[in-house]
Amino acid sequence: MSLEDLRREPTVYLLPECENEGEARKCLKEVCGQIFEEQLDGSYRVPSWWPNRRERDAFDRWFEWSFHSVVVDLCDEPLLQEDI
What is the full DSSP assignment across 42-83? HH---GGGS-S--SHHHHHHH------S------SS-SS---
For the chain, the domain total comes to 1
Task: Identify whether 40 is part of a domain.
Answer: yes
Task: Identify whether 75 is part of a domain.
Answer: no
Task: Identify whether 3 is part of a domain.
Answer: no
The per-residue pLDDT for 48 is 81
Task: Identify whether 41 is part of a domain.
Answer: yes
Task: Identify whether 70 is part of a domain.
Answer: no
pLDDT tens digits, 14-62: 898 888 889 999 999 999 999 988 888 877 777 787 778 888 888 888 8
The per-residue pLDDT for 39 is 84
Task: Identify whether 24 is part of a domain.
Answer: yes
Residues of the domain holding 45: 19-62
Is the pTM here over 0.85, yes or no? Answer: no
